[in-house]
Structure 1
């Protein structure tokens, strides 16, 4: 039983890829982040190189993964209980995104900790279009929308409390998603009022993100409508599963998504060791 670490995404996927693909909903973030690392190189998410790792259990099978792209938290997936202690001995982790049980096991190795966020993963069941439907219609984002979309991406990053310095990555995401038809706007009376993006399909899954409505347009059903549209389109394009994450501290967004057919799969915690920074 041992951990193996690498900064080479191809080596990581050669070893852990089958395990991730076997649990695509739980592995959605790891699948999309590693796809971006393959496409854009090791500094796709920051100046520091990523660290990836996998744990092999007594039977030799992969039974858990680590993905760390500083300055973001280390994402831990499907860890068997016996993998946590050796991981904490091998890596100085102080900021982790993990399922509740794994997060509790990690924080037992710290003298103190704080919970920075609680997230819920949802899977689309039967899609239920919003009723009553808001005014307006969906349309694909176009290059002419770029400046608006960059402002909205920046505002969304502030809303979710992510690390700063996103401008280059936002521009890349907006340009790629616009060119590939993966960014949708909801317009009312010709004015863009909400947006939703969708990830590339990986292992039969697609994930809705980001979803953003400026405060001045909130409360009118636009987010539900644009999310329903990108979800419908993902299914029509062949996705076996359509997923999204919500912040459990936001009851409004959780209510929006359940009303249009999303059902809870699992919860994750983002936890930090008090008084420490990632190393």
Structure 2
């Protein structure tokens, strides 16, 4: 791969090298870097092609003195891309975002979109339009929340929570696809792969009705840098409005805390006032706004 020696960004396909170089930086603010941390960990555990057939691409932004001290202590930004999905990039200033857009316009002109904090995502999107001539469209505005004090809603719906296991992959896979369709997002990975991946580390909690019928699910990412993120909360349409989403979110959050998580996070779609209100009622508080842009044309 060609590298622009004048650019502060260093590109690579080497996952281990990327992990070693960015670990200190990503762990410095695990909440803000939650997506980069969770995707990197999944790639390390499940393999480079868990999100698709294309080779993942990684990048680090280093300051001017990085090479003098070996680089690891001077990383100031990072991105990863798992084709065919959007690139995820840490918070960087507009000039650094512009440098990345200029470099990737030559190295990865088929980039489908970007996800980052609101300011970085917008800066990169505008620069991408400038360097490629494509149209950048705001797809989703998100808010990152962090758990403050868990406050279970009362009364809880009938039933109980349990961790999904070996008999559940089919229902998890089906609900995962239904969730992606409901929120208008491309599935991050094959549905059965997602189910098996989550089951392997106890990452999905189900809420069951008294007769044992699953009524809702909530997943969390693997714990990295002390944090986990509630990633997929879903109730089938016919069962909504009965308190299942709140109950299963409380259950999966409590399980994460009991397992040793120092922080529990989640993203919401700002266009969905119901979910934003629910998570605040059970104890989550806003951290920062994020955005996703799609590129076309």
Q: Indicate how the Cα distance of structure 1 residues 273 and 144 shifts in structure 2: closer, same or farther if over 3 A, else same.
A: closer
Contact 2:144–2:287 (8 Å) recurs in 1: yes
Counterpart in the other structure of 2:194 = 173
SS in 2 for 1:128: coil
Instruction: Provide the residue aligned with 2:88 in structure 1.
Output: 75
1:185 aligns with 2:213: no
- Partner residue in 1 for 2:121: 103
CA shift, 1:66, in A, is 1.2
Shift in alpha-carbon separation, 1:165–1:251, aligned structure 2, 3 A: closer
**SS at structure 2 position matched to 1:89:** helix
**Gapped runs of 5+ residues in structure 1?**
none
How many pairs were matched up?
273
The answer to whether the aligner puts 1:196 opposite 2:209 as a matched pair is: no
**1:157 is aligned to 2:180:** yes
- TM-score in terms of structure 2 length: 0.87
26-35 vs 101-110, which moves further: 101-110
Instruction: Give the secondary structure class of the aligned counterpart of 2:229.
Output: strand
Question: What residue in structure 2 maps to residue 133 of structure 1?
Answer: 156
Q: What SS does the corresponding residue of 2:180 show, helix, strand or coil? A: helix
Distance in 2 between the 1:82 and 1:103 partners? 13
Pick which of 196-205 and 85-94 moved more.
85-94
State the Cα distance separating 1:165 from its structure 2 match.
Answer: 8.5
Q: What is the aligned partner in structure 1 of residue 14 from structure 2?
A: 8
Give the Cα–Cα distance (whole angstroms) in 2 for the partners of residues 56 and 180 of structure 1: 34
| Alignment partners' CA distance in 2, 1:124 and 1:173 | 25
Q: What is aligned with 2:275?
A: 253
SS at match of 2:144: strand
Spell out the pairing of 1:207-226 with structure 2 (5 A cutoff). Answer: 207-226=229-248
Structure 1 runs (4+) greater than 4 angstroms displaced: none
Q: CA deviation at 1:178?
A: 2.3
The 3-state SS of whatever aligns with 1:144 is: coil
The CA distance in 2 between the partners of 1:22 and 1:70, in whole Å, is: 27
- The aligned counterpart of 1:264 is 286
Q: Which residue of 2 aligns with 1:91?
A: 104
| Backbone CA RMSD of aligned residues | 1.6
Q: Secondary structure at the match of 2:38?
A: helix
Instruction: Compute the displacement of 1:154 (Å).
Output: 1.1
The counterpart of 2:167, out of the listed 116, 121, 144, is 144
Unaligned runs of 5+ in 2: 1-6, 67-73, 106-110
Question: Is the Cα contact below 8 Å between 2:94 and 2:124 reproduced in 1?
Answer: no
Q: 2:292 & 2:40 partners in 1: Cα distance?
A: 20
RCO (CA 8 Å, sep 6+): is it higher in 1 or 2?
1
